[in-house]
Structure 1
Amino acid sequence: MTIALLLIVCYLLGAIPAGLWLGKIFFKKNLHDFGSGNTGTTNTFRVLGAKAGVAVFIFDLLKGTLATLLPIFFHVHGISPLIFGLFAVIGHTISIFDHFHGGKAVATSAGVVLGFNPLFLLYILLIFLIVLFLFSMISLSSISAAVAALIGIAIFPAFHFILPHYDLIFSVIILVLAGIIIFRHQSNVKRIKNRNESVIPWGLNLSKQHKI
């Protein structure tokens, strides 16, 4: 019973559309009507500004972290904390509070990894920042970080680097999270191919995207 209740709580926690509510309450703007129409961190930055973007990023990140830590706080055994984190990500992407729409799962997925293995998140973050500097695209950086995570779970345990051994549950959850992130960025991939993806005013923009 406790496990079922906590899973529901984690879904509802993840389902809180921070960007959407922040925009409506404080800026009188519906994020669905601006930019990409997404309610996540990137579109919040673009539409509502840096302060709102940072606030939404931190909130979405901590949703994943808190969900992953909740079973530990409640001394729940027999089920991996990562399952609870996954429910938060599902809530974030398919939110009951937003007509089952949601974000692209990047920040909340990062929060799940933060709650379970902070060093692995540092590795993913490093890849994200390198790609961001080279290409100036949040979307490509997010996809690259997801792919890097998949490479990490496949290779690192063999060398006992960051991941001391192969962990089936961790590997499966990372596979699912990476799959969600890549799937949710399909429209971005098309724009990248057409060289009209949104870029940030930082980095080298090596692929010469034209949309700012």
Structure 2
Amino acid sequence: MKIILIFSAAYLLGSIPSGVWIGKKMYGKDIREFGSGNSGTTNTFRVLGFKAGILVLLADVLKGTLAASLPYFFNSDLNPMVVGIGAIVGHTFPIFAQFKGGKAVATSAGVLLAYNPPFFIVSVSIFLIILYFSRMVSFSSMLALFFITPSSLITHDWILTTIAGMLTVFIVYRHKDNIKRIRLGTESKVPFGFRYKKTKKDS
């Protein structure tokens, strides 16, 4: 019974549609009707701007961190990384948003933060370096995962490596539309980074 309760709580935490709620309450917009139509952090940055994007990013990371911390709260022996999968599923298929959610990158990062903070720092560093040079969040997320999965082998934690590998496949699949845009050269880029030149449109 406790296991069901923990996983249910993790799923419900993940299901909180941060981007949708913040967009509607603070900006009067449903971000699913703009940009890529996704309710996650990247589309929030694209549609609502930097401030809203940061709020959604922090909220989505926090969801994963709280979900992965549930075993500690319930005094359970369940692996936090495994429980965190509940939040990732919730973020991707949220019951509070007609089961249409984001791509779970930020929530996955939050799970990792609760499970292994040092490795989280390494992973975020890899992501930021790639983002600086590519200026594409989608590309950076996918490529970072390709580096993170084999890098996790140094921790000798088979659960972390296995789940990281599964997430790599899952998140790449969720980014299939982004991959098409990257190939066509039409993928959105962040307004900073290597060779970025500010234009009047960015002012």
Give the TM bin, normalised by the shorter chain: over 0.9
1:47 alignment counterpart: 47
Say whether the 8 Å CA contact 1:95–1:101 is kept in structure 2: yes
**In the aligned structure 2, how far is the partner of 1:70 from the partner of 1:202?**
37
**In the aligned structure 2, how far is the partner of 1:168 from the partner of 1:151?**
11
| 1:78-128 alpha-carbon deviations (Å, 9 max, x no partner) | x21111111000000011111111111110000010001111111111111
Say whether the 8 Å CA contact 1:93–1:102 is kept in structure 2: yes
RMSD value, Cα:
1.5
2:29 alignment counterpart: 29
Identify unmatched segments of 5+ residues in structure 1: 157-162, 207-211
1:168 alignment counterpart: 158
| 1:146-188 alpha-carbon deviations (Å, 9 max, x no partner) | 111112124x2xxxxxx2xx22222221122222211111111
Question: Are 2:195 and 1:201 aligned?
Answer: no
2:20 alignment counterpart: 20
Question: Are 2:84 and 1:94 aligned?
Answer: no
Q: After superposition, where does 1:127-206 map in structure 2 within 5 Å? A: 127-154=126-153, 156=154, 163=155, 166-204=156-194
Comparing 172-181 with 184-193, greater Cα deviation is found at: 172-181
**In the aligned structure 2, how far is the partner of 1:205 from the partner of 1:11?**
40
Say whether the 8 Å CA contact 2:150–2:161 is kept in structure 1: no
Amino acid in structure 2 at the alignment position of 1:50? F
SS of 2:131's equivalent?
Answer: helix
Cα shift at 1:50: 1.4
**In the aligned structure 1, how far is the partner of 2:19 from the partner of 2:92?**
13
**In the aligned structure 2, how far is the partner of 1:131 from the partner of 1:168?**
26
Say whether the 8 Å CA contact 2:68–2:84 is kept in structure 1: yes
Q: After superposition, where does 1:97-108 map in structure 2 within 5 Å? A: 97-108=96-107
Query: What percentage of aligned pairs have identical amino acids?
Result: 47
TM-score normalised by L of structure 1: 0.88
SS of 1:191's equivalent?
Answer: helix
Identify unmatched segments of 5+ residues in structure 2: 197-201
SS of 1:39's equivalent?
Answer: coil
Q: Which runs of 4+ in 1 moved over 4 A?
A: none
TM-score normalised by L of structure 2: 0.92
Q: Identify the structure with the greater helix proportion.
A: 2
Amino acid in structure 2 at the alignment position of 1:179? V
**In the aligned structure 1, how far is the partner of 2:195 from the partner of 2:90?**
33
**In the aligned structure 2, how far is the partner of 1:170 from the partner of 1:136?**
28
1:160 alignment counterpart: none
Cα shift at 1:205: 5.8
